């Protein structure tokens, strides 16, 4: 187990310079790590055994295992809630001739149809989870490319509590000169980050629908159904057995001694689905929680377009600075300036940020007088 988590240790590394916020981090850090971890766990046979093990007479076990894994297995969803041991051998596992459905689309009378559901997605769970992890990281990748290391260049050495006075003064002068020159020119920079925040929200909603299609329209209401069944198992059948059956059937055809086609029904145990059941139950609640948090994050972002709210936030970030000087900067800065000041405050030592506010105020006043 330590080998699995050792593989993703680097993903948990905390960046020294923060260029986003906690909600953004939940997408590219927490969610990505969760998905990569699940992807690695599904492939780890050391702890969960072979993904499939089928039983059938007269056929090599390895051959039937490989065939059923590639070809897919099937169950009968309408019999998932049938009595095990009396009506069915396992949830959703029975003979074909148990189910007869009428067909009324122009047919005279009724004919047999087999209400079977084929399960192929478990073959691709590992790859699908890994692709999802990449999609959750994409907005972060996009933002890092657009951000270009600007915050790091401004706060380098100023994010340390103890630094040489000469170096500290040099770095402070550089940061102040930068803001004095590029003040009121950071709106595009901020809007790029806001766009990535919207992408995060769109992505998590899209991942829920994409997973629903991947699981053959079985994910959107999966979480509530599992929770409802867990609280009262008498209300129906286990939805986890319907979507991720632990036992399923597989049909294998081969030629007999006389050249006739012989049909063999294999009974397949799917240990991998024990883990898949838990993974997708967790992911349903995590995606919903992440979508709700992201929605509140977008509401917060809309609120920051109000200058009064931005002033309160900047004041809370610069508690050691003079109230009058923070107010003077708030009156002059646009949302882009406020945004990059907010990022600098996250990364700069509190005393250094106080001095930065003081020097920046003086610089802006001097610039107005010269103009």
14 lies in which domain range?
A: 2-303
Pairing relationship of beta strands 261-269 and 247-255 according to DSSP bridges: antiparallel
User: Does any domain span residue 123?
Assistant: yes
Q: What whole-number distance in Å separates Cα of residue 371 and Cα of residue 368?
A: 5
Q: Report if residue 332 sits inside a domain.
A: no
Note the pTM of the prediction, 2 decimals.
0.89
Domain for residue 368, yes or no? no
Tens digits of residue pLDDT in 192-239 = 999 999 999 999 999 999 999 999 888 999 999 999 998 887 777 888
What sign for the dihedral angle of Cα 166, 170, 175, 176? positive
Please report whether residue 333 resides in a domain.
no
- Tell me the pLDDT tens digit for each residue of 131-149: 999 999 999 999 999 999 9
Could you tell me the pLDDT band of residue 370, with boundaries at 50, 70 and 90? low
Locate 74 and state its tokens: 């099937």
Q: How confident is the model at residue 46 (pLDDT cuts 50, 70, 90)?
A: low
Kindly state the percentage of the chain with pLDDT values over 70.
90
Tens digit of each residue's pLDDT (9 = 90 or more) over 279-310: 999 999 999 999 999 999 999 999 999 999 99
Mean pLDDT of the chain, nearest integer: 87
Residue position matching structure tokens 């929200």: 201
Residue 46 domain-assigned (yes or no): yes
Count of structural domains within the chain: 1
59-77 pLDDT, tens digit per residue, is 888 899 999 999 889 998 8
Q: Does residue 360 fall inside a structural domain?
A: no
pLDDT value for 14: 77
**Residue 293 lies inside a defined structural domain of this protein:** yes
């Amino acid at each position: 187990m330590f080998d699995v988590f050792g593989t993703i240790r680097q993903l948990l590394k905390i960046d020294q310079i923060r260029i986003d916020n906690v909600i953004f981090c939940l997408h590219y850090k927490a969610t990505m790590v969760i998905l990569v971890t699940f992807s690695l766990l599904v492939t780890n046979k050391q702890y969960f055994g072979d993904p499939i093990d089928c039983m059938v007479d007269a056929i090599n076990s390895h051959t039937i295992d490989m065939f059923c894994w590639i070809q897919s297995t099937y169950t009968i969803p309408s019999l998932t809630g049938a009595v095990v041991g009396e009506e069915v051998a396992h949830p959703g596992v029975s003979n074909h001739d148990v189910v007869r459905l009428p067909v009324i689309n122009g047919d005279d009378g009724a004919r047999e149809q087999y209400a079977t559901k084929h399960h192929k997605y478990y073959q691709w769970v590992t790859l699908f989870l890994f692709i999802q992890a990449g999609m959750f990281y994409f907005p972060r990748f996009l933002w890092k490319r657009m951000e270009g290391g600007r915050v790091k260049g401004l706060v380098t050495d100023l994010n340390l509590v103890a630094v040489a006075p000469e170096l500290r003064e040099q770095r402070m002068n550089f940061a102040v000169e930068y803001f004095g020159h590029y003040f009121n020119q950071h709106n595009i920079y901020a809007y790029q980050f806001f766009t990535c925040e919207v992408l995060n929200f769109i992505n998590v909603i899209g991942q829920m629908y994409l997973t629903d299609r991947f699981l053959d329209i079985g994910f959107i209401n999966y979480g509530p159904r599992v929770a409802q069944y867990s609280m009262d198992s008498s209300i129906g059948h286990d939805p986890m057995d319907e979507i991720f059956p632990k036992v399923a059937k597989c049909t294998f055809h081969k030629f007999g001694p006389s050249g006739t086609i012989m049909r063999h029904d294999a009974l397949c145990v799917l240990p991998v689905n024990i883990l898949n059941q838990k993974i997708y139950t967790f992911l349903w609640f995590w995606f919903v929680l992440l979508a709700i948090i992201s929605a509140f994050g977008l509401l917060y972002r809309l609120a920051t377009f109000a200058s009064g709210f931005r002033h309160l936030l900047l004041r809370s970030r610069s508690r050691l600075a003079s109230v009058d000087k923070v107010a003077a900067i708030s009156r002059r800065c646009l949302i882009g300036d406020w945004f990059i000041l907010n990022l600098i405050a996250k990364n700069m030592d509190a005393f250094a940020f106080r001095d930065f506010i003081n020097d920046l105020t003086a610089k802006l006043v001097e610039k107005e007088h010269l103009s």
